[in-house]
Amino acid sequence: MSSEKEVEVITTASVLATRLAEWVNNPGKPPSLYMDIEGVNLGRHRSISLISIYVRPRNKVYVVDVDVLGREALFTTDGKGNSLNNILESPLSPKVVFDVRNGSNALFGLFKTSLNGIFDVQLMELALRKGSKDHLASFSSCVQKQHRDLSDTMNVVDLGEKSDDNRSLGTGMVRYSARKATMLASLWDIYSVGLKPPDKAMWRCLIRETTQVRIHVSKRPQYDPQSENRMRSAWNQEFIEEYSDNWNDDLFMISDGMVYDEEEDRWVDGGEQDYWDDDELDEYFDDYPDTARDCIGWEEDMIKNGSPF
């Protein structure tokens, strides 16, 4: 993948309206949209300065100036009713990000935008990592580990030491965010291949569940974007062992023709029900039956116990 992409900075609603059609109806496998959100101490109590979207089929990055456009950045529509807000909330428009939490917090706090259809590359790296999973990786460490030949080209500003006090639409910050969005596509290619084998099914399921937890928790008023524990992972050894045990128990029940009835909160005879019918997002990894049971109650337990995620 070339490290240089065409970059367009969008500062008017009229231009934005003409670009929206280029962000919809793109192929979903692999995902077409790779997104980076930047702001001053990004979170609900500050601001979003820019949203960079790398549209892979067009090999182009669109940088939306939220500082200038304000709400128009999210709610400007084209003639077909498309808006950036609709794209961000659509489960049928897969979007790849790195660490969804603070971006989700800011979007919901400022615009009531609820992200959906998200793939979190930070969690993909965590799932594939050998050894301890107690801590989360930074974006710069992922780039340096997977792309030593390209990491020097990313030092427009240091990816691990970027200051949120700089206005995001300075030349350096636009290049930083645009490069980050394009590198997400490269990281996706590497991690998605690693997660494709059938024996990675449990990890694919855990990534989806944890992404949903992150989005859900980040929308709560008590969420702290600058928490000292934000680089800790909830996937410690005890958690993984318990999750794996539940996963294997569920597979045993499913292989015996049982399905889990959420309303009844119990396993029932599956009969003719097609339990293996994958949802839309499963297709972006593969068609292996990897849903098992959604481990009902785990999300609220994590939130209640104050665990990192």
Range with lowest mean pLDDT among 16-25, 164-173, 208-217, 243-252? 164-173
Domains of the chain by start residue, with CATH: 6-272+289-301 (3.30.420.10)
* pLDDT tier, 35 (very low <50, low <70, confident <90, very high otherwise): very high
Q: Which pair of tokens denotes residue 279?
A: 């949802």
> What's the pLDDT at 158?
46
The least confident of 54-68, 150-164, 174-188, 206-220 is: 150-164
Per-residue pLDDT tens for 84-136?
Answer: 999 999 999 999 999 999 999 999 999 999 999 999 999 999 999 998 999 99
Cα–Cα distance for residue pair 52/43, rounded to 1 Å: 17
Exposure string of 217-237, with b = 16+ CB inside 10 Å and e = fewer, is bbbeeebebeeeeeeebbbee
Distance of alpha carbon 24 from alpha carbon 188, whole angstroms: 20
Least confident of 18-22, 146-150, 162-166, 170-174: 162-166
Residue listed under structure tokens 């949209």:
33
pLDDT band at 43 (very low <50, low <70, confident <90, very high): low
Non-local (6+) Cβ contacts of 107 within 8 A are 37, 48, 74, 88, 113, 115
Cβ partners under 8 Å of residue 19, min gap 6 = 8, 10, 62
